[in-house]
Chains A and B, each alone.
Chain A
Amino acid sequence: MLKPRFMPTFLVSCVLSLSGMVFPIAAIQAAEGPVRRPHVEAELVSENLSLQPGQTAWLGLRLKLERGWHVYWENPGDSGLKPELALSSPTTEAAALQFPIPERIPVPPLMNYGYEGEVLFPFPVKISSSASGSSMRFEGKASWLVCQDTCIPGKADLTLVVDLKSSAPAPHPDWSTLFGKTRQQLPRPPDGLRFSAWADAERVRIRIQGESDAPLPDSNLEFFPLTEGAVEHPAEILTQVTNTEASFEFKRPQNAPSLGNLDGIVVFRKLGLSYRFRAPAAKWSADLTPITPSSRPAETEPRSLAWMLVFALLGGLILNIMPCVFPVISIKILSLMDSADRDPALIRKHGFVFSAGVTLSFVVLGGVLFLLRATGLGLGWGFQLQSPLFVVLLAVLFFLMGLNLLGVFEIGTRLMGMGGESQASRKTLSGSFYSGVLATIVATPCSAPFMGAALGFALLQPLLSGLMIFLFLGLGMALPYIALTLRPDLLRLLPRPGRWMETFKQFLAFPMFATVLWLVWVLGVQRGVDVVVALLGGFILISLGFWIHQRSRQSALLPIVSLALVLIGVALPLRETGLHFSGGEVPSAGAGTAFGDLTVHAFSPTKVDELRRQGKPVFLYFTAAWCVSCKVNERVAFSDSTVIERMRTLGLQIVKADWTNYDADITRALESFERSGVPLYVLFSANSAEHGRVLPEILTPGIVLKHLESPSK
């Protein structure tokens, strides 16, 4: 195991002789402190407040860059230049700037290595033991190339005066942390690591192994080449990492000279350490096992399953207050309150069964989703609503629940396990189970915050861990209910049970009908007005059927009539929609008033690329008619006149990916952002080198404006 220990060996290479070169503070040279240049603030800084004769001190060139601009590493990659510092006092040598771990900065089709934000280039200075005076003055000219799309060379005369004291120095309050952090990253000698390289004119392979097959300290490795002409920087890097070794394979650039030694650094990203190495490049050997391109994104932090389970739990919890689930949960809690004074053991049993209903339904739903995906259908969360068949059934279900809540008929109470009547609820445990199932079914159109990330992750996992995430979603959703049944005294925090509960229950019928209205609209968007009329006709038949049923206790014939009416009522819209899974040919529009009169481009796999090529900023949004959060965002955030005006002045190109109906291209696009459902909002700046930025799932005009103001990451 490699220990992150600092090696002072490379200090030796950089010793400045400073004897007798001490200047009084009153010298007339350039002022101290940071110097502003276009897009860069440059400053000469010291790690400590004072210098001690005979000791090695660390100074550094600090560059603070404007957002979106970068400076370069030792090897700048395809273009660019590393920063330099030429000292003029107390020595005239160039400072041996050391380079912390760089980032890969793609500027398609090129690749650069460098830094964004604030970066410190430290260098050690040996203070002569004969140095005298009260302070030392350092002067030098820093030069750099700062680039965004365009490059600007910068220069600044920098001055630093540090006290000279014989006592041990105290750390500089502003800079010592930055020095510590940066020095930690500087390349170390490769102790304990073995490097091998092979190359021909086409490719070069580098292998890193721990000593005597010791495990590598960190599986998140990167390689940065120092040898010029060794690798084609922007080309894909084939990577293979096991416990004990890592291999990288690069393309060689065209016209590359044959490779003698390969110099570079290997970075352990998670540990934040780097090792410098030199490996003589051996002839390419046919024995080298080929590396297959990995499908896993090599650079993104591998997200742990544990974190995603936490996200799933949170997402499930939040689902409870989403508009589609809230009524169902409210009713369940009402029934609980009603029986609050009764047998706590029975209540716990109900709580358990309800939670089991919720979690099991989530797992089944997840299983079905995996199964359908295995058949090659590009599906994601909320996929059920892409099927008009499912929408019809859901609308009928919500309609019946509404009628039931209003007290039009009683049978449904038990049948659907609404638990509104405490009598029924206590008797039938199965009722609790089905209300759990029901809660899950009605939850499917909603996507709560945190869920997107968890679900997107789930679908890319092996079956078992994927199902685990679904399980945790269910647990999260059942959590408040479990808590209430385990601690019934919590119920006392709610208003006392009474007649208001019946009133409240009836009131809840109206959110149900509102949901029906929305589902009817979804169906209309998917299949047009005929299906809507069939569905509404179905509603009439169904309510007629239940109404007759209420009055049919004494007759033998009437129940049959009522059943027939209900069945016809359901069959009518189904006949119109057809029993196909996919949505159909009618492309859904339904943009509403979102984005005002701004042009909204329809999504195609090449559209965003095309617009960015023209140097335009792009806002890509994924939506669906059945996605409530999407619609709320469109009403609240994207219909706001300030937002629309801001988008207009930015020349933002809006691209809409409508996932109301099944669309494999859009599903793939979602997956590329590691999502499996809508909403998803991605903002691309005009700089085509930058990646898109994903906005939160719940938006307000304020959030959108904030993101629009700072389009780079």
Chain B
Amino acid sequence: MKKIFIALMIGTFAVAPAFAAAVVGKPAPAFSEKDMAGKTIDLSQYKGKTVVLEWLNHGCPFVVKHYNSKNMQALQKKYTDQKTYADKAVVWLSVISSKKGAQGYGTPEETMKQAKEKGSFATTILIDEDGSMGKAYGAKTTPHMFVIDASGVLTYAGAIDDKATTELGDVPTAKNFVAAALDEMLAGKPVSIASSKAYGCGVKY
């Protein structure tokens, strides 16, 4: 309550609970969250792998754009493919930080069912019901994207592409920042666009 009062007192100049830092070039914040299968997923278990984090809410029109156009599934499928990339295949974690009852939230069973319906190729989907992981990363929107390299360092944070719209037709012409970052990392090059302003719906903390 005190927080509400403070917020009221300073009106809309409210102080939001401080986001912890997920700074490009620095080690990515550690996390340990339950996934849709009930397994606990810890960042440390992917040491040596490239990890992509995708903030997800299927009720958000910006997310809908990337799933209905199959853009997101295609990215997931391509970069997690063991045959093409062998041990360089990425681990793709979709993260739902919607609080219980809010848009995008689902029980593990519902999330599993929805992932199947949407044709997700994500390695798994994390259910961050209390928003702790989202806040640790400063995830603001869906889809907010993060890329972590094999040594655990954050290499990209921001939007999925440069077209902040809900138009399906914009997907083919957009420059995809995540694909660009992953391609550069696979080629052993530094990521040229390491951050951008994430667009989309606010995460429903």
Residues of A within 8 A of B37 (CB): none
* Chain A residues in 8 Å Cβ range of B23: 254-255
Given the known A-B contacts A605-B1, A669-B5, are A147 and B201 also in contact in the complex, defined by CB atoms under 8 Å? yes
- Min CB distance A436 to B, Å, is 37
- Give chain A residues whose Cβ lies under 8 Å from the Cβ of B22: 254-255
Complex contact A110–B5 (CB within 8 A) = no
Please indicate the chain A residues that have their CB under 8 angstroms from the CB of B19 in the complex.
109, 254
State whether the Cβ of A613 lies closer than 8 Å to any Cβ in chain B. yes
Contact indicator B61/A152 (Cβ below 8 Å): yes
CB distance from B105 to the nearest CB of A (A): 10
- Among B9-17, B41-49, B67-75, B120-128, the one that faces the other chain is B9-17
Most A CB contacts (10 A, CB to CB) among B11, B101, B135 go to B11
Instruction: Chain B residues near A108: list those with CB within 8 A.
Output: 7, 14, 16-17, 205
Is the Cβ of A107 less than 8 Å from the Cβ of B202? yes
Interface residues of A in 359-404 (CB under 8 A from B): none
Instruction: Please tell me if the beta carbons of A606 and B2 are within 8 angstroms of each other in the complex.
Output: yes
B1 and A153 contacting across the interface, CB-CB below 8 Å: no
Given contacts A145-B166, A153-B61, A235-B15, contact A254 B21 (CB under 8 A): yes
Inter-chain CA distance A106–B4, complex, in Å, is 12
Q: Write out the residue numbers on chain A whose beta carbons fall within 8 Å of the beta carbon of B5.
A: 668-669, 672-673
- Which residue in chain B gives the minimum CB-CB distance to A674? B9
CB neighbours of B21 from chain A (8 A)? 254
Cβ A79 vs Cβ B101 within 8 A: no
**Nearest-CB residue, chain A, relative to B200:** A79
Are A691 and B202 in contact, with the CB atoms below 8 A? no
Residues of B within 8 A of A106 (CB): 7, 12, 14, 16
Contact with A along B99-130 (1 / 0, CB 8 A): 11111000000000000000000000000000
- Cα–Cα, bound, A229→B141 (Å): 14
Known: A108-B14, A149-B103. A604 touches B1 (CB 8 A): yes
Nearest residue in A to B134 (C-beta to C-beta)? A109
Confirm or deny: A315 has a beta carbon within 8 angstroms of a beta carbon on chain B: no
Evaluate whether A298 and B10 lie within 8 angstroms (CB atoms) in the complex, with A145-B61, A145-B166, A692-B4 already known: yes
CA gap between A346 and B15 in the complex, in Å:
61
Q: Which A residues are CB-close (under 8 A) to B66?
A: none
Is B197 in the interface zone, CB < 8 Å from A?
yes
* Residue of chain A at shortest CB distance from B141: A79
* Per-residue A-contact encoding for B190-205, CB less than 8 Å = 1, 0 else: 0000110101111111
Across the interface, which residues of A come within 8 angstroms of B82, CB to CB?
none
Interface size on B, residues (CB 8 A): 51
Range of interface residues on chain A? 35 or more
Is A585 on the interface with B (CB-CB < 8 A)? no
* Closest A residue to B5 using CB positions: A672
The reply on A348 being an interface residue by CB < 8 A is no
Distance of A567 Cα from B102 Cα, bound (Å): 65
A489, B203: Cα distance in complex, Å: 70
Cα-based distance from A298 to B6 in the complex (angstroms): 12
With A79-B199, A108-B17, A109-B135 as known contacts, state yes or no: A608 contacts B12, CB within 8 Å.
no
A421 at the interface (CB under 8 A from B): no
The answer to whether A235 touches B24 (Cβ under 8 A) is no
Tell me the bound Cα distance from A603 to B5 in angstroms: 13
Interface membership of B152, Cβ < 8 A: no
Is B157 interfacial (CB-CB < 8 Å)?
yes
Q: Enumerate chain B residues within 8 angstroms of A604, measured Cβ to Cβ.
A: 1
Taken together as a complex, chains A and B put the C-alpha atoms of A298 and B11 apart, in Å, by 7
Q: Judge whether A79 and B140 touch: CB under 8 Å.
A: yes
Contact with B along A248-271 (1 / 0, CB 8 A): 000000111100000000000000
Q: Is A439 in contact with chain B by the CB < 8 A criterion?
A: no
A150 lies within 8 A of chain B by Cβ: yes
Contact string against B for A residues 141-160, beta-carbon threshold 8 Å, 1 for contact and 0 otherwise: 00001010111110000000
Known: A110-B202, A255-B157, A605-B1. A673 touches B8 (CB 8 A): yes
B59 part of interface (Cβ distance < 8 Å): yes
> Which chain A residues border B135 with CB–CB below 8 Å?
109
User: Which of the listed residues A110, A239, A612 has the most CB atoms from chain B within 10 Å of its own CB?
Assistant: A110
- Chain A 285-312 per-residue mask, 1 if CB under 8 angstroms from chain B, else 0: 0000000000001111000000000000
Report yes or no: B9 in contact with A150, Cβ–Cβ below 8 A: no
A298 touches B61 (CB 8 A): no
Output the nearest chain A residue to B164 by Cβ-Cβ distance: A81
Known: A151-B60, A299-B12, A613-B99. Is A254-B7 also a contact (CB below 8 A)? no
* Across-interface contacts of B204 in A (CB, < 8 A): 149-150
Q: Is B12's CB under 8 angstroms from A257's CB?
A: no
A104 and B200 alpha carbons, distance in the complex (Å): 18
A571 proximal to B (CB < 8 A): no
A149-B102, A607-B1, A615-B99 as given contacts; A78 in contact with B14, CB under 8 Å: no
Contact A110 B16 (CB under 8 A): yes
| Residues from chain A with Cβ under 8 Å of B197 in the complex | 228-229
Contacting residues, chain B, for A297 (C-beta < 8 A): 9-11
Q: Tell me, yes or no, whether B3 is within 8 Å of chain A by CB.
A: yes
Cβ B195 vs Cβ A81 within 8 A:
no
> A104-B13, A236-B15 in contact; A79/B202 too (CB < 8 A)?
yes
Distance of A482 from chain B, by nearest CB (Å) = 38
Query: Within 8 Å of chain B (Cβ to Cβ): is A536?
Result: no
Q: Which residues of B contact A149 (CB under 8 A)?
A: 102-103, 204
- Complex A-B: 30 CB contacts under 8 Å: A78-B140, A78-B202, A79-B140, A81-B166, A108-B7, A108-B205, A109-B16, A150-B201, A151-B60, A151-B201, A228-B197, A234-B15, A236-B14, A237-B13, A254-B19, A254-B138, A299-B10, A299-B11, A299-B12, A608-B1, A612-B4, A613-B99, A614-B101, A615-B99, A615-B100, A615-B101, A672-B8, A672-B9, A673-B8, A692-B4
Other contacts beyond A604-B1, A614-B101: 14, CB < 8 A = A78-B141, A104-B12, A108-B7, A109-B19, A150-B103, A151-B61, A235-B15, A237-B13, A254-B138, A255-B195, A297-B11, A605-B1, A613-B99, A615-B99
In order of increasing CB-CB distance, the 4 nearest A-B pairs are A299-B11, A672-B5, A234-B16, A109-B16
